[in-house]
């Protein structure tokens, strides 16, 4: 572990007074998935490929989509750095006494330090998160050594943010209790979701602010007794039957770049498929990703099918897929 060097008491005392006032005056701009990286250009030239590889991994939604976008700035370039230092998500790299690192150390809490990486909030703007890689000796080596930790940190915090955004309307625990009592399973959903049931199919939908702009939907149904020997194509055929009979939106599964396999959900045998749906020929052109899960619940002798899908034309889809995954993860069947 890199030991963080001590910062001059004079710097610690002065920086919060000067920069705290600035942070109070102006809010941060940019998105949480955009990371402005402040490091001298001579270092950046040596590490940029590794940084892009570690901090810009892709996830397939309807195409390869970056989970984060990295932009470089040389903090010694006063004009450019002055414009970007109020970005919402900053990554600064350098020794403790560097002008672009010392303010972060001065603002950070002890619990936000670890492994040579320090985080502070509202350093140069309100609503800002600044992550500092504090280096001793060779900056390039220290930066490269921190990349795995940075990826884990950013991914965890982005997932937490996506969950917080999802539940800004509140958690509908009353609905969770209602469907457990009525149907023997539960999901934890935001209160903005509407729901309907027909036969043994439950549909939960959020099409705010407008269904032409954004739809998040989760359907749950089951078969009993538990069917034996079902594989991925069987679950996809079951999903198609569900969509044909109960969805307002016509859908066909697109099997290019399909991902799936068996896993364990809350101690139960389960199968997951992630792929893309599209509207059939002749219908209004639409499409998006879906996440399908089959979960065997022996206590009820049921095989549950859970289908979560997204329609978000023109939008980055990663955060919405995290939210739908969160809903599926909350699934509980009666024991």
All structural domains of the chain, each given as residue ranges with its CATH number in brackets, are 9-165 (3.30.379), 169-333 (3.40.1000.10)
User: What sign does the dihedral 75-80-107-128 (CA atoms) show?
Assistant: negative
* 310, 316 Cβ separation under 8 angstroms: no
pLDDT at position 264 is 97
What pLDDT tens digit does each residue of the chain (335 aa) get? Answer: 333 434 443 333 334 444 444 444 588 999 999 999 999 999 999 999 999 999 998 887 777 888 899 999 999 998 899 989 999 999 999 999 999 999 999 999 888 776 689 999 999 999 999 999 999 999 999 999 999 999 999 999 999 999 999 999 999 999 999 999 999 999 999 999 999 999 999 999 999 889 999 999 999 999 999 999 999 999 999 999 999 999 988 899 998 889 999 999 999 999 999 999 999 998 888 999 999 999 999 999 999 999 999 999 988 899 999 999 999 999 999 86
The structure's pTM equals 0.82
pLDDT at position 4 is 40
């Amino acid at each position: 572990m890199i030991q963080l060097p001590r910062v001059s008491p004079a710097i610690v005392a002065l920086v919060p007074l000067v920069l705290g006032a600035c942070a109070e005056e102006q809010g941060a701009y940019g998105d949480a998935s955009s990371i402005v990286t402040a490091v001298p250009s001579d270092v950046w030239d040596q590490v940029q490929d590794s940084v892009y590889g570690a901090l810009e991994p892709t996830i397939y939604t309807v195409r390869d989509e970056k989970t984060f976008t990295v932009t470089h700035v040389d903090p010694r370039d006063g004009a450019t750095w002055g414009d970007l230092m109020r970005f919402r998500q900053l990554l600064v790299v350098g020794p403790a006494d560097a002008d672009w690192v010392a303010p972060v150390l001065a603002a950070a809490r002890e619990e936000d330090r670890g492994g040579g990486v320090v985080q502070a909030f509202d350093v140069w703007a309100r609503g800002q998160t600044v992550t500092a890689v504090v280096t001793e000796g060779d900056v390039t080596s220290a930066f490269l050594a921190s990349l795995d930790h940075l990826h884990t940190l950013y991914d965890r915090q982005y997932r937490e943010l996506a969950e917080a955004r999802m539940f800004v309307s509140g958690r509908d625990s009353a609905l969770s209790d209602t469907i457990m009592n009525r149907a023997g399973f539960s999901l934890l959903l935001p209160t903005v979701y509407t729901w309907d049931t027909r036969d043994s199919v439950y549909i939960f939908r959020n099409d705010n602010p407008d269904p032409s702009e954004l739809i998040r939907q989760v359907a749950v149904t089951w078969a009993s007794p538990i069917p034996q020997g079902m594989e991925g194509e069987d679950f996809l055929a079951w999903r198609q039957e569900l969509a044909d009979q109960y969805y307002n939106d016509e859908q066909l599964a697109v099997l290019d770049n399909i991902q799936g396999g068996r896993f364990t959900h809350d101690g139960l045998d389960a199968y997951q498929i992630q792929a893309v749906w599209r509207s059939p020929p002749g219908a209004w052109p639409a499409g998006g990703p879906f996440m399908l899960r089959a979960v065997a619940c022996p206590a009820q002798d049921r095989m549950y099918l859970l289908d979560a899908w997204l329609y978000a034309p023109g939008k980055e889809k990663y955060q919405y897929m995290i939210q739908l995954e969160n809903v599926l993860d909350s699934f509980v069947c009666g024991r």
